[in-house]
Each structure stands twice: as structure tokens, then as C-alpha cells.
Amino acid sequence: MNQNDLNDSSLTNTGPVLVLDPDKSMRAHLRKLLLLNGFDVHTAAAPGEALEAMIQNNFWVILTEANFPGRNTAMILQRLREQEEEPVIIVHSNLHEPGSHIRHNLGKIFEYLQKPAPAHEIIGQIKKAALFFQEKHKHIDFFQRSKNRARHQLEWLLWQQQQKHFEKIHFGIDLISSIKHSLTQGMGVGALVTMIELLEMNLDREPRDQNKIDELLQKIIFAGKQVNTWLSQLENISSTFTKKYTQEEIEGNEIKKIVNQSLKDVADFQEFKNQKVIIEKLTLNRDLIFSRNLFSMILRELLTNAFKYSPDESSINIALTHNDRNCALVVLNDIIPGSKGIPRDSENYIFEPFYRISNIYDERYISEEFGLGIGLTVIRNAINHFGGQLYIYEVNDYATAMQPRKRIAAELIIPLKMDNAEDDQENVSRTEISNYLFRNDQHTNA
């Protein structure tokens, strides 16, 4: 390998690399070498420091010393590997042992480099490790995460079983609390009550301020209209429970039209924060088995949530993918800085009626179709009825920005029309595909 190979600019898309080495001068040397070769490099002097850095970053590769006096090296490497993204480990050390024994003693490492390894060897192995990391994640992400999800689902079901006898009481309390919250928050029945009391107080005052009274009357009329909207919401939710959607064949090329119409329906919400919608090519050469009306309703809810829970001026991505049996439409949005996002242990709760991750209420969205903390419950039930599935979860988006960032993915999975009816019975599971989407053929709906 020559100098040109070391400066290969294709490395700019490589994920972060962590150098763990107690030797200060070696750390500085490796840092400089990796930076010069286009890597995003972080350094740590001790295993604890490395683990701390791993909380903040999803490292693809860790280049580590294996000689930590008084510490169990195998245990340290095990801890480093145990992180969620399971970085690829390269040991750069001077253990004076044959390679096979080191591998045996240290567990699963990608490569052992005898210290001090030549620069080209270090760079070459890190490149290989980064490629391996990418490939590994393409292939095992789905299986690994599905396994984790299955475990979480099982824990959730067990928890629900344990909680069964409390459910009715909880449901009642949550219902009252949600309605009370909706009634009393900013622009709603609570504001109307306050305005009427203010009007009374102003009417009792001498001398009367007619301008003030007129102003309050105008506000009361406006608030009355908002309450009416809120009552329509209730009616809408109520009718959704009883509405019968027709299962029908939807041509793949209709999806784009349905998405665009849904976007128009919620265009007001998009304007509040001046957000941008980036639509991936929405073409599909297969037919779906679903309901057009339900599809539109789901999209309106997912888009409304994406606008509501993402920052001003941010982008919302929409993309479509499919396998042999299902298609997955993904809506991806940023997380408002300082907000919780969707912690993994909340993924199941968000579909529970009246569950709110945050009680922050943005009154601009009072006219949203559902609200009341029940929208996701309603649409997921309807989706399941048609053999589809809805997942909402946090992802690391590697594709839309130079640095991976946490985003929220809402993934709607809809069954495709199958030639053989028996094939329809297979369960649908989430694809985690949103980690790899949004690369090409985008157009913007600003």
C-alpha cells in the first residue's frame, strides 16, 4: 500500500473510530495518523473513559491497546463489544504471543497488530474493519434487533399480564387525566372559562372599558370555535372506532398520489414551523391490499406527529421500500433538542391510549385530526385489522447527514397482494430499513 492509498478520500463517510491507549504519545500519533486519513477519530486513555465516550458516539471501529496493568484485558474488550452497535475491535499491542493464542485469550477481535504497527497497516486494517462493520450491520441488524425487539415484546406482554387487574382502573384514570388535560390546556375549554370570568369582572367594573369588553367578546367567539373543533375531534375518534374500511387492491403507483394528498391535508401544520418534506422515489410495481381511506388517515396522523414533534425548519423524510410480501412506508423526523425522543423502553407504551411521553402542549395543533393522546392507538388497531403493522422507534440516521444522528422513524408496513393466498399469513415485522434509506432520487416539498 502506498501513500495515495492512505489518503483515500472515500473514507470521509466512515463512521467514528475510537483509539484507546494509555500511552499519551501513541494516542497523539494514532490520532494524527487517522485524522490525516479522513477518519472521525476520538481518543481515550483508559477503559472507563472509552466506555463514557461510547455513550455519546456509536463507534464503528475501536483500535485498542490490550495491555492494561492490573486489569483483565479480555473483560475490558468484552465490555467494549457489548455496546449496542457492537464496534469492530482491532488490538494494537505488544503482547509477544502468537496471534492465534491472543485471539483465543482476548475473544472476538477483528485483527491483532503488533505494536508499533506501520501506518499503512493500521490504516488498511481500520478501513477493512469499517467495511466489515457496515456489511455486518446490513446483514445482522435486522436479525439482532428483531431478537431484541422480541425480548422487549415478551417482557411487555409479561408486564401487561401482571398489570391486568389494574388495567381498568388505570384506563379510567388516564382517560380522566387526558380529558382534563385537553380541557384545561392553552386554547380550549379552560381558556373559554377564563375569558368568560374575565368578561364578568370587566362588566362589573366602573367605569366600563368597552374596548376591553369587545376584545374579550371577540376572543370568546374564537375560543368557542376552537372548542367546537375539539368536539369534532371527539366525534371523529368515536366514528373511527365504528367505521368500516373496505379492503381493496391499491396499485403501487397510487401511493405517491395518496402521500401527496395527505401532505396537502396537513399543509397548515407544516407551515407552523416552516418544515421541509423530502420525498424519496415512491414507486412500487406491486399492488397493496389495504384501504385507501385508512391509508390516508394513517399518513395524516404520522405526518402531523412528525411536524409536531420535530424542530423548526427541520426536514421530514418519506420513503418507500418493499420485500416479497410487504411494503414499508417510512416517515422520518428529527427530535426537538432537549426532548426525550422515544426511549426504547417507551416504544410499546406509545401505542397505549392516553400515554404521553411529554406533556408539552403546542396549541397551534389544536385542529389535528385526533389528539387527546389516542391517535396512535386508533390507527394501529386499524392497521392490524388489515394485516399491517406500525412501528415507531428511534434510529441512527447514517444517510441524510455527514454525522449519524438520532431521529424518529414511523414505519407503516402494508401487505402486498400475493398470488398464493396462503402466503398472506406470514407475520410482518419491522424492517429497521430506515437506517439505510434516503440516499437518492429525492425531491423536496418545501
Partner 1 sequence: MIKTILAIDDSETMRDMVKQTLDMGNYNIIMAIDGKDGLKKFMHNEVNLIITDINMPVMDGIQLIKEIRKVNQDVPILTLTTESEDDMKKKGSDAGANGWIVKPLHPAQLLDIIEQILL
Binding site for partner 1 (CB under 8 A): 177, 180-181, 183-187, 189-191, 193-195, 197-198, 201-202, 205, 216, 219, 223, 336, 338-339, 358-363
Query: How far, in whole angstroms, is CA 170 from its chain's centroid?
Result: 28
How many Cβ atoms sit within 10 Å of the Cβ of residue 118?
Answer: 11
Q: Which is nearer to partner 1, 22 or 311 (CB)?
A: 311
* Nearest CA-CA partner of 257 in 305, 301, 290, 295: 295
Cβ of residue 205: shortest distance to partner 1, in angstroms? Answer: 8
Asked if 37 contacts 11 with a C-beta cutoff of 8 angstroms, the reply is yes
Q: Which is nearer to partner 1, 197 or 441 (CB)?
A: 197
Cβ of residue 182: shortest distance to partner 1, in angstroms? Answer: 9
- CA angle 350-356-358, nearest 5°? 125
Taking the C-alpha atoms of residue 334 and residue 6, their distance in angstroms, rounded to an integer, is 35
* Nearest CA-CA partner of 326 in 272, 276, 284: 284
Residues 6 or more apart from 5 whose CB is under 8 A from it? 120, 123, 124
* Nearest CA-CA partner of 231 in 182, 195, 193: 182
Cβ of residue 173: shortest distance to partner 1, in angstroms? Answer: 10
Q: Residue 370: what residue type?
A: F
Q: Which is nearer to partner 1, 38 or 341 (CB)?
A: 341
Cβ of residue 105: shortest distance to partner 1, in angstroms? Answer: 49
Cβ of residue 178: shortest distance to partner 1, in angstroms? Answer: 11
Cβ of residue 402: shortest distance to partner 1, in angstroms? Answer: 26
Cβ of residue 268: shortest distance to partner 1, in angstroms? Answer: 17
Cβ of residue 409: shortest distance to partner 1, in angstroms? Answer: 22
Residue 18's DSSP bridge partners are 42, 62
Q: Which is nearer to partner 1, 183 or 418 (CB)?
A: 183
Residues, the chain, total? 446
Cβ of residue 188: shortest distance to partner 1, in angstroms? Answer: 8
- Residue 103 in grid coordinates: 485471539
Cβ of residue 392: shortest distance to partner 1, in angstroms? Answer: 20
Q: Is the four-CA dihedral 420, 423, 429, 434 of positive or negative sign?
A: negative
Taking the C-alpha atoms of residue 51 and residue 307, their distance in angstroms, rounded to an integer, is 35
Cβ of residue 109: shortest distance to partner 1, in angstroms? Answer: 44
Burial tier of 298 (Cβ tally within 10 Å: 0-12, 13-18, 19+): buried
Q: Which is nearer to partner 1, 26 or 199 (CB)?
A: 199
Q: Which is nearer to partner 1, 144 or 367 (CB)?
A: 367
Rounded to 5 degrees, φ, ψ at 281 are -55, 120
